[in-house]
Structures are given as C-alpha cells and as structure tokens.
Amino acid sequence: GRRLVIAVDGPAAAGKGTLARALAGCLGLPYLDTGLLYRVVGRRMLDAGLDPSADASGEAATLRAEDLARGDLRTPEVDRAASRVAGQPAVRAALLQFQRSFGAAHGAVLDGRDIGTVIFPDAAVKLFISASHRARAERRWLQLNAHRSPADGEREAEIAAVEAELVARDAADSGREVAPLRAADDAVRIDTDRLDADAVLAEALRIVRARV
C-alpha cells in the first residue's frame, strides 16, 4: 500500500521535535527533523564566512545526509542563519527533493514548517503543534540550561531574551513569501501549553488511529 507520511508542523520550541520523534518510534517509521536541513545550510554559510542572506542554493544543492549529524547546529547564531537561508526560494527548491525522497522510501514522520502545506500536501495525517510564547521560551531555556541554576532574576531575564528571539523568528518564518509557516487547512491542531510530552503523544496517536 501507500507509504504512511505524517506531517508535524508548528513554530520553534512548541514541542514538534519531541512529539515527532516519539510518534515515529511508536509507529515504527523513520523520522526526519527538516529544520536540520536549513541549519546545515546556514552553518555552512557561516563556516564559509558568507552572509546567510546571500545566495545559499549551492550549499543546499550539495547537502548530504551525513551533514545532519553535525554537532554544532543548535546555537543561536545558527538559529538566525537557518531562518535567513530558509527564506530563499532556491534553497527550499533544492531541499524539497531530499525531503520527498526520504518520506517516499518507507513512509516517515517529518517535522518542520511547511511539511503539510508544501512538501507532503497529501500526507495521511497533518498535525499543527502550538504553544504560548512563554511556554515555548521556558522549554527552550531549559533545554539550553539544564546544567545551570541561576538566581530567579537572572533566569527571568534569560527567558525573556529567549522569548524575544522566538517571536522574531516566528515573524520571519510566518511573514516570508515562500512557504510561510501556517497550518494546512486539513491539519489537526494540538496546543501543548497544558500537556506534558506523554499527553501530547497520546493525543497524536488518537488522531493518527482515527485517520489511518
């Protein structure tokens, strides 16, 4: 039969990655974090001393699967560079085939911004994951600072700074002309503010089982 493709879209730090990885594990499907593709391209631009707003299509065209295992892809500098290269139509076009081939091979769970709208408009299940700015900033701060316990005031200031970065990246990702972040018309929304990871997974599995 047809390969099962599940699209998981939403803004940064809403819980997409945690959900998509767990869902893939439960369903025995491969998992692709598509944000990593844009991160690799942004990282390579920085490594080459190039402005990430300059034409990055050459870096996108030569991306290899091994690059996704690089360890230096989750810094604030790469967050911004990824968002810059992601606004370039030629970069998105170069990465489209990689994503389609990945999903077509054995089925997959893919998470990103445009999986349900552009990459797999016929995905069997589309989930759109959202959460408040505050909840997303707290989670991202915890990921980056699991090893520290700063004073309350310092912690608050850092969370506020993370929140400002997330809001700026949302605005860039939602406002761009090519493949802006938005929910597909047939996506099912899950708001993760009041749900822990297990509850989000249970809800997603319920939605998947009702559809496939």
> Alpha-carbon distance 161 to 156, whole Å?
9
**Residue 149 C-beta: closest distance to ligand C5P, Å:** 26
Written as six digits, the tokens of 70 are 């690089």
Q: What are the tokens at 112?
A: 């990103």
Stretch that binds ligand C5P, among 82-90, 128-136, 154-162, 186-194 (CB under 6 A): 82-90
Nearer to ligand C5P, 39 or 107 (CB): 39
Site residues for ligand C5P, window 102-121 (CB under 6 A)?
112-114
Q: Is 59 in the site for ligand C5P (CB under 6 A)?
A: no
Residue from 166, 173, 192, 201 in contact with ligand C5P (CB under 6 A): 173
Separation CA 150–CA 193 (nearest Å)? 24
Q: Which is nearer to ligand C5P, 171 or 202 (CB)?
A: 171
Q: Are 93 and 85 in contact (CB under 8 A)?
A: no
CB of 151 to ligand C5P, least distance (A): 29
By CB under 6 A, tell whether 44 contacts ligand C5P: no
Using the rule CB under 6 A, which residue among 24, 60, 86, 129 binds ligand C5P? 86
Strands 5-9 and 31-33, by their bridges, are unpaired
Residues 63 and 95: beta-carbon distance below 8 Å: yes
- C-alpha to C-alpha distance for 42 and 79, rounded to whole angstroms: 8
